[in-house]
Structure 1
Amino acid sequence: MNDLLPMMARHGYALTFALLLAEAMGFPFPAAIALVAAGAAVASHTLWGPGVLFAALLALLIGDTSLFWLGRYSGWALLGFLCRLSMNPETCILRSAESFYKRGQVTLVIAKFIPGINTMAAPLAGSMKMRYSQFLRLDFAGGSLYCVTYLLLGYVSRDFLTAALNSFHAAGRAMEILIGTALLVYAIYRGARFHKYRKYDIVPRVQVQELAMRLGSEDAGQVQIVDVRSHGYYDAGTERIQGSIRIEPNNLEEEIKNLPKDKDLYLYCT
């Protein structure tokens, strides 16, 4: 933030576009802070408000549209990759799908304000076969709400931001060390989490033909098929694999207790 306001004065429109596009594509860039800084620049008549809003919205729509179509054609491969970049890689897909289930399409309107779901919403909507025209309307509404909120916050808090930056300059070296230490701790934390959950990259898989052969053998009684589709992909009215049982993926710790201990379990999802 120390250098962001001066940079906004010189490269405001391009910087806003670049940071918003990066965040929309899943990179951990401070888009909200950029919007606040841009709002402060608008208040000081350095930038033109409608121009900033246009650049920000265009960036969000380009990024979200890209992830929407990538989600449509790559499905869970993209979602899994994005989850590995998230703070909670073991739950982020389920959490995002659950949000769609509980809030419906309004999730796209508020997704930008919810950490973890903001990046997942667009590809998840694509993987769920939502119509692009419908997605675009909802995404435009959500992006507009997000941009206007933070731009207004920066606009009305310009004096406070100026005072805060002056205090930061006064603190000088001590603040730089504090921020540098915080960034280092955060990087170590993310690296540790990535290492911890790297084991999920290798999941034992069984081909359909192999499972079908076992179900047709004398060993079929030792097999239990489990449907673990999340709400976003599960329709109670559709057919399941014959003999399978349905468990709630958001309540796995309790559901696992009820699974048979004397059978081989085969899990399937979308």
Structure 2
Amino acid sequence: MDLLTELFARHGLVTVALAVLLGQIGAPLPSTPVLLLAGVEAGSRPGFAWQAFVVATLSAQLANGLWFWAGRRLGRRVLATLCRISISPDSCVRQNEASFARRGVLTLVIAKFVPGLSILAPPLAGTLGMRTWHFMVWNLLGSALWAGAAIAVGRIFHAQIDAVLQALAQLGSAAVVLAGAALLAYLAWRLWRRAQFNRELKRFERLGPVEAMALLDAQGDILFVDVRAFAPDMPLGHRIPGARHLDLGALREDTLADWPPSAELITYCACPNDASAARAALWLRQQGRSVRVLRGGIDAWKQAGLHVETL
């Protein structure tokens, strides 16, 4: 701890810039604690708080802008890559899409205060087609609020944070062991949750696009269910013809009141491992409906050259 505080005292602004930039890019580095230390350091260095605030805000804006550009250019491929390295790869896109659907651009304001949302929100905004100037303005506001809040907390509670650092320094290796044990317990719980979901996913028959189209031609009484989340200023773009939309954030029994009672349902999404489609299928089965999952979702459907509707 003494080495960390000494390094921060000598190269504070560089440390803030690198920590925020790397943290927002996706490196497993804790940037918020560094901002707290910046607030502590501001107690003995006049003007340092404002300098750290500007550096942190601009660093976050730069990193987020790169992810927004990647989302705009590469689409859901960049989301799939991020989710594969996530602790919760099966639900990360679904939860963030739902946040954009409920809150729209305000998601960018709160993103850095919500674990898991900070990294995915910028590329998801690009993928969903958010206007560039909307992203830049709202993300800048969110970055400024996050950086300012963390530095302010560090400044206000500098005495308490100093006491914690001194206590950790006295514990020495024991503090490292305790922190490692807590992290391992958290990872084990999340991996157990993921394994549970994978078992649920295997319970549903998954059809490829060509198989689903052949079933539609042969049987006819098929209803596709689109479970992607969307916001009014970021439309879905395309859907399978005749598909009904199902909001996973507002599931009620009366949702199915006007759906054909005898139709076989095929759910689809645009997420890794068809996670949202599987969760929707599970709920629909609980409502007594016959349901399957479209393997690969809307992206696989379009890649197969099958017809889509423009929204």
TM-score (norm 2): 0.71
- In the other structure, the counterpart of 1:113 is 113
The answer to whether the 8 A contact 1:68-1:126 is kept is yes
Q: Do residues 266 (structure 1) and 265 (structure 2) align?
A: no
Question: For residues 6-57 of structure 1, what are the alpha-carbon distances to aligned partners after superposition, in whole Å with 9 as ceiling and x for unaligned?
Answer: 2211221111111111221123321110100011112121872332222211
Structure 2 unaligned residues grouped into runs of 5+: 252-279, 300-311
SS in 2 for 1:62: helix
The residue type paired with residue 255 of structure 1 is L
Aligned partners of 1:13, 1:139: CA distance in 2, in Å?
A: 22
- In the other structure, the counterpart of 2:220 is 221
The answer to whether the 8 A contact 2:97-2:228 is kept is no
Aligned partners of 2:136, 2:75: CA distance in 1, in Å?
A: 19
Aligned partners of 1:167, 1:214: CA distance in 2, in Å?
A: 66
The answer to whether the 8 A contact 2:128-2:235 is kept is no
Query: Residues 19, 223 of structure 1: CA spacing in aligned structure 2 closer, same or farther, 3 A cutoff?
Result: same
- In the other structure, the counterpart of 2:283 is 254
Query: Residues 73, 259 of structure 1: CA spacing in aligned structure 2 closer, same or farther, 3 A cutoff?
Result: farther
Q: Do residues 133 (structure 1) and 133 (structure 2) align?
A: yes
- In the other structure, the counterpart of 2:81 is 81
- In the other structure, the counterpart of 1:12 is 12
1:183 to partner: Cα distance: 4.1
- In the other structure, the counterpart of 1:67 is 67
Point out the structure with the larger helix share: 1
The answer to whether the 8 A contact 1:36-1:155 is kept is yes
The answer to whether the 8 A contact 1:61-1:140 is kept is yes
The residue type paired with residue 49 of structure 1 is A
Query: Residues 193, 6 of structure 1: CA spacing in aligned structure 2 closer, same or farther, 3 A cutoff?
Result: farther
Q: Out of 188, 205, 208, which is 1:206 matched to?
A: 208
Question: For residues 76-109 of structure 1, what are the alpha-carbon distances to aligned partners after superposition, in whole Å with 9 as ceiling and x for unaligned?
Answer: 2222222334443322212111111211211111
1:27-46 equivalences in 2 (<5 Å): 27-45=27-45
The answer to whether the 8 A contact 1:40-1:155 is kept is yes
Aligned partners of 1:35, 1:140: CA distance in 2, in Å?
A: 17
Aligned partners of 1:134, 1:235: CA distance in 2, in Å?
A: 15
The residue type paired with residue 244 of structure 1 is A
The answer to whether the 8 A contact 1:111-1:118 is kept is yes
Aligned partners of 1:100, 1:14: CA distance in 2, in Å?
A: 33
1:212 to partner: Cα distance: 4.6
- In the other structure, the counterpart of 1:22 is 22
The residue type paired with residue 206 of structure 1 is G
Structure 1 unaligned residues grouped into runs of 5+: none
The answer to whether the 8 A contact 1:25-1:63 is kept is yes
Query: Residues 7, 211 of structure 1: CA spacing in aligned structure 2 closer, same or farther, 3 A cutoff?
Result: same
Aligned partners of 1:27, 1:259: CA distance in 2, in Å?
A: 44
* CA RMSD between the two structures: 3.3
Aligned partners of 1:213, 1:205: CA distance in 2, in Å?
A: 10
Provide the identity percentage: 29
How many residues align? The count is: 263
Aligned partners of 1:38, 1:73: CA distance in 2, in Å?
A: 35
